[in-house]
Structures are given as C-alpha cells and as structure tokens.
Amino acid sequence: MPIQFTVRHELAGSAARLGRIVTARGTVDTPAFFPVGTQATVKTLTPDELLGLGAQAILANTYHLFLRPGPDLIERLGGLHRFMAWPRTLMTDSGGFQAFSLGLALEHGVGKIASMFPGAAAAPAQPIKKKLAKVSETGVEFASHLDGARRMLTPELSIRIQQQLGADLVVAFDECTSPLSSYEYTREALARTHRWELRSLDAWGAGHPGQGMYGIVQGGYYKDLRDESARFIAGLPFDGVAIGGSLGRSKSDMLEILEWVIPNLPVDRPRHLLGIGEPEDLFECVQRGIDTFDCVSPTRLARHGSLYTSTGRLNIKNAAYRSQTGPIEEGCGCYTCQTFDRAYLRHLFVAEEILGYRLATLHNLRFILDMMARIRRSIADESFLELKASFLAKYRKQRAA
C-alpha cells in the first residue's frame, strides 16, 4: 500500500473537501499547507518549532539538494528525514520548476517567476537573456546556480534523487513552461512532459509502502492542453496529482485553469497545487478542490518584514511601528505575538538581527497554518463559504503593505 487518501467530507455545492492523507510518516489532514524547506531547512526554524506551529508536512526542493549537499550524501546519512530531523511527511518536487527558472524564465525575462528562484540573482555573471537550461527529449541540461557547472536532470534521475532523499510524496519529472510560451511550444512541451511522466512511473516502480508518487498536470493557460493533461494523468496509476507550471498571468487565469483541470481528476486522489500560498489563493483554490499546497511565500515575506494580519499584510520595517506596543496580530497564539511588541520586532529588522527573521517566520507560518485549520473546520461544519467571505472581507481592508 503506497499512501492512503480518504475524502472525509465534501462541502455541499462546491468542490471543496476535507480529506486525510496517510503516509509512512503520519497523517496529513487536508486541506493543508506545506512549508517549504528548500535546502533541507525551513528557513530560520527548527523541526520542533514547525511541529509546534502545526505543520503536518513540508516540501523540500530536489534541484537544490541535488546540487548541495547531494543525494548520495543524504542517503548515506539515513535520508532527508533523519538529515534534517523532520519526523513527519516530506514531499519533494521534481526539480523541473527550477530548470524552468534557470532557463526559460531568464530567457523570457519573466521577472516574477525568475525572482522566485533564489539563486537567480546570485548566479554566475551571465547575460540575463542567455539560455541557461536546454531541454531535450532526454531531460533538462542546466547551469548550476552555485558554480555554473553544466548538470542534467532526467525523469529517471529526478525519481532516483527523490528516492535517495526518502521522500514520502514524490513528484514526476516535468517541464514547466513560461506564461510567455506559445501554444505550439506549450503543446510540444506537454507531450514531452507526458512522456517524462511515463518514464517517471517506470523509474518509480512498484511497492513503496507509505510513499506515493504524484503525476503532474501541465499545459499552461490553454484549456485544451490542460484538459488533455488532466485526463492523461488521471488515467495513470499515480497516487496523487500535482498541478503545476504556468498558471496564466493573473489570479483569475489560475482559478480558470483549476476549473478546467479538477473536474477531469479522479476524486479519490489528493490534489496538490505547486507554489501557491497567499491567503486569498488558498481559500479560492480550496473551494475549487485543491487538497494541499506548498509555497515559499509566508517564509520569504517574513524575512522581508511583511507580516500577515487579519486585515492584510503589514511591513514591520515601516516607521509607523517604531514605538507601537501590542503584538503583530491581537489574539495570535504564536510565540512572537505572545512575547514581543511590534516596536521590538521593528527594531530587530532595522538592526538586521537574525532573531527578527525567526520571529517573523514563526508568525507568518502560524497565521497560514491556523488559517488552514479554520478552513478544515469550516468544511466539516459547512461554514466554509461564510468563513471565506468574512475572512477575505477583513483581510482585504489593508492590502497596501
């Protein structure tokens, strides 16, 4: 038995659902948000703190761990769970997105997406338009963001690395196209991705107790390609389905894509949306049937001083908070809010003290994880739409930050 997934309740008149994934490492009540531990650490936090915040699973990046410290080392040391002392469910991505970030995104100058890739700015001096990644039928050849060395990821290698890491949830290898890719290119890339997914399944093999493999739906912002991809993945023996790639150019494009894809997916497999994590998106995507999410946003925003509150984000570095008493968010149960005034947190950010990044990360993750817990309860008691309406009405009050 790979992973188990049960739908425990479906919200009336909506695709939202309450579910439970059971892996070798424990239970994930869904809808759930997975904090991201790119380099085998959710930045600034210990595993104990993550558990204390209510994290049920985290996601680590195959691309980064492939380059450093390397999957052979992690395997020799007992796998990623042991390496980073994370006892619960661990998901890894395929590495495909980073190939995209290093290659096509830079080539197209897609700022938002390129900037999501932390190594981009620090990459060895290369003309920004130079194609750093080369896609072939075999896989993706790219230049390491660490030293510029040419490396290659293939479906077989991606799966092999994810197995070496010992992830509970692995993702088939895919090519992630750019929002600027043409229909023709996206169609061609999708066909290749589907061939890669079959190779990923072959590489994965059978019989991984408590571990599961997710297929990945691509197809850009093209309805027929997304339809085709969803039906293709639905017909394969994947344990879950991830939705990835270019999700259009706006939030409404993204929701449209979900509305194309999800009706084509089997109801009995968990659905993961890659790289999405803003409060509004979480509500909207849960409503459309997404079960799990991962995103660097809460932790990255935290390190930039941008903190979630029920009335929107505030930037703690603003002079307005210089002498403000009271917590970031009244009533928040996180250590930061229970212990420190806004003025102290601002001081730490202004003084560039590491403790500031920690305290902000604790708060932002607690905010998102608490929100997901409320979403789960609201699906159970059929109050999801009311929660969504009241939460977002309040949250949108202060969107400037």
Catalytic-role residue among 227, 294, 341, 381 = 294
The smaller minimum CB distance to a copy of itself, of residues 4 and 39, is found at 39
For residue 375, which of 366, 364, 386 has the smallest C-alpha distance?
386
| 93 flagged as catalytic | yes
Catalytic-role residue among 29, 93, 174, 291 = 93
Smallest separation (angstroms) from a copy of itself to the CB of 339: 5
Smallest separation (angstroms) from a copy of itself to the CB of 388: 34
The smaller minimum CB distance to a copy of itself, of residues 75 and 107, is found at 75
- Cβ atoms 151, 141 nearer than 8 A: yes
Single residue of 348, 360, 368, 369 touching a copy of itself by CB under 8 A: 348
Strands 240-243 and 212-217: parallel
Q: What's the start-to-end Cα distance of the chain, in Å?
A: 47
Smallest separation (angstroms) from a copy of itself to the CB of 226: 36
The smaller minimum CB distance to a copy of itself, of residues 80 and 213, is found at 80
Q: Contact between 262 and a copy of itself (CB under 8 A)?
A: no
Query: With CB under 8 A, what is the number of residues at the site for a copy of itself?
Result: 36
| Range in contact with a copy of itself (rule: CB under 8 A) among 9-17, 125-133, 195-203, 322-330 | 322-330
| Range in contact with a copy of itself (rule: CB under 8 A) among 12-20, 45-53, 175-183, 220-228 | 45-53
Residues 293-312, mask of contacts with a copy of itself (x by CB under 8 A): --------------------
- Is cis: bond before 118, omega within 30 of 0? no
The smaller minimum CB distance to a copy of itself, of residues 244 and 356, is found at 356
How many Å apart are CA 178 and CA 159, to the nearest integer? Answer: 23
Single residue of 34, 357, 384, 395 touching a copy of itself by CB under 8 A: 357
Single residue of 11, 21, 32, 40 touching a copy of itself by CB under 8 A: 40
Spell 239-273 as b/e; 16+ CB within 10 A means b: bbbbbbbbbbeeeeebbbbbebbbebbeeebbbbb
Contacts 24+ apart (CB under 8 A), 228-237: 228/190, 229/190, 229/193, 229/194, 229/261, 230/260, 230/261, 230/262, 230/264, 230/265, 231/264, 232/194, 232/197, 233/197, 233/265, 234/264, 234/265, 234/266, 236/197, 236/198, 236/201, 237/201
| 294 flagged as catalytic | yes
For residue 220, which of 277, 178, 275 has the smallest C-alpha distance?
178
Smallest separation (angstroms) from a copy of itself to the CB of 23: 22
Which helix (H) or strand (E) segment holds residue 233: the answer is helix 223-234
Q: Contact between 75 and a copy of itself (CB under 8 A)?
A: no
The tokens describing 136, both together, are 């072939």
Single residue of 1, 51, 77, 380 touching a copy of itself by CB under 8 A: 77
E-assigned strands of 86-146? 89-92, 133-135, 140-143
How many Å apart are CA 330 and CA 363, to the nearest integer? Answer: 12
Please report, as residue ranges, which positions from 52 to 71 form the binding site for a copy of itself (by CB under 8 A). 68-69
For residue 290, which of 3, 19, 13, 1 has the smallest C-alpha distance?
19
Smallest separation (angstroms) from a copy of itself to the CB of 214: 26
Smallest separation (angstroms) from a copy of itself to the CB of 69: 5
Smallest separation (angstroms) from a copy of itself to the CB of 80: 10
How many Å apart are CA 297 and CA 309, to the nearest integer? Answer: 15
Single residue of 41, 315, 318, 383 touching a copy of itself by CB under 8 A: 41
How many Å apart are CA 188 and CA 18, to the nearest integer? Answer: 36
Q: Contact between 48 and a copy of itself (CB under 8 A)?
A: yes
Which residues are marked as active site?
Answer: 93, 294
The residues of the shown chain that bind a copy of itself, judged by CB under 8 A, are 39-41, 43-48, 68-69, 73, 76-77, 83-85, 322-323, 325, 335, 339-341, 343-344, 347-348, 350-351, 353-355, 357-359
